[in-house]
Amino acid sequence: MPASGEYLVPVRDRATVVTSVILLLIAAAAWIDVVRSSLGVPDMMMTMFMPMTVTGGVAFVASWGIMMTAMMLPSALPMIGLYGATQRGAAAPGRRGVPIAVFAFVYLAVWAAFGAPVYVAHTLLMALPTTLFAYGIAVILLGAGAFQLSPLKHACLRACRSPLGFLLGHWRAGLRGSLVLGWSHAVYCLGCCWALMVVLVAAGAMGLAWVLLITAAVAAEKLLPRGEWIARAIGATLLLLGVAVALRPDLVTALRGGHAM
């Protein structure tokens, strides 16, 4: 652990700044790929039922990993940057960027791995008969809205909104500490945002408009003042949208960019 009180002051050294810039460039490259893919031919996997296969799963998880890098990395940078500041004096001068890179890699790897259960759930959703598909979307919207209002959501959100508090409560030294901290932060972040990502896939068919909307929602919850109330407002909106879809199943076509299933 750094010397007493050292990690309380987020002093950014050259290694932290360089690593943060590299991570921003990675996020920018991921956004370019997301936009390019969204402007191309619609993904058949998102618009019609396709049997579950290993090849399809790998392709989905790869695409998902890139999308999560674009969506989640920017709002995680305050946590990653503060963690980098704790390495000042705790790591050899030539290796200060390594713990930051490990922390960020583990964080993104957990989000990419979440794509596997999302792929399974999405395939099962797309296998529903047309008459039940819209009601499946309604249930997902209602469930996501309810989760946004739950104590678990807000416990995870508090950890994401307080980088300093998170590091004070979970600090581990060394490379193994970077792995543990990256994992812990990813789990809290996943616990905070998983329902919004399910909405992105199910109701939004991973369309660009929904990607931008969910990214803005995640950033607002984590970074803006009164983020807890923003999360509640999003939850109430999702509940209303779920009720609307249950009453008007044809709304699913509009939500999914003209593709009901």
What is the pLDDT averaged over residues 90-96?
Answer: 60
Domain assignment present for residue 53? The answer is yes
Predicted pLDDT of residue 48: 72
Domain assignment present for residue 162? The answer is yes
Banded model confidence at residue 151, pLDDT cuts 50, 70, 90: very high
Element (H, E) at 173: none
Domain assignment present for residue 1? The answer is no
Which backbone phi and psi does 65 adopt, to 5 degrees?
-60, -40
- For the chain, give me the number of helices (H) and strands (E)? 12, 0
What digits encode the pLDDT tens for the residues 106-149? 999 999 999 999 999 999 999 999 889 999 999 999 999 999 99
Which backbone phi and psi does 137 adopt, to 5 degrees?
-65, -40
In angstroms, the CA 247 to CA 225 distance is: 35
What digits encode the pLDDT tens for the residues 205-228? 888 899 999 999 999 999 999 999
Domain assignment present for residue 5? The answer is no
Nearest to 46 by CA among 207, 214, 194: 207
Distances (CA, A) of 19 to 13, 67, 139, 164, 235: 10, 20, 41, 19, 35
36: Cα separation from own chain's centroid:
20
Give the domain range for residue 207.
10-255
Across 2-6, 170-174, 197-201, the highest mean pLDDT is recorded for 197-201
Banded model confidence at residue 104, pLDDT cuts 50, 70, 90: very high
Q: Is 30 exposed, middle or buried (0-12, 13-18, 19+ CB in 10 A)?
A: buried
* Count: domains in the chain: 1
In angstroms, the CA 202 to CA 200 distance is: 6
Nearest to 218 by CA among 120, 105, 78: 78
Can you read off the two tokens belonging to residue 172? 């581990």
Banded model confidence at residue 11, pLDDT cuts 50, 70, 90: very low
**pTM, rounded to two decimals:** 0.86
Predicted pLDDT of residue 12: 55
Domain assignment present for residue 45? The answer is yes
What is the pLDDT averaged over residues 43-49?
Answer: 68
Domain assignment present for residue 4? The answer is no
User: Residue 4 pLDDT > 60, yes or no?
Assistant: no
Q: Is 247 exposed, middle or buried (0-12, 13-18, 19+ CB in 10 A)?
A: exposed
What is the pLDDT averaged over residues 241-247?
Answer: 96
Q: Is 91 exposed, middle or buried (0-12, 13-18, 19+ CB in 10 A)?
A: buried
Mean pLDDT of the chain: 87
Domain assignment present for residue 3? The answer is no
Banded model confidence at residue 259, pLDDT cuts 50, 70, 90: low
Which backbone phi and psi does 13 adopt, to 5 degrees?
-95, 180
User: Residue 169 pLDDT > 90, yes or no?
Assistant: no
Domain assignment present for residue 140? The answer is yes
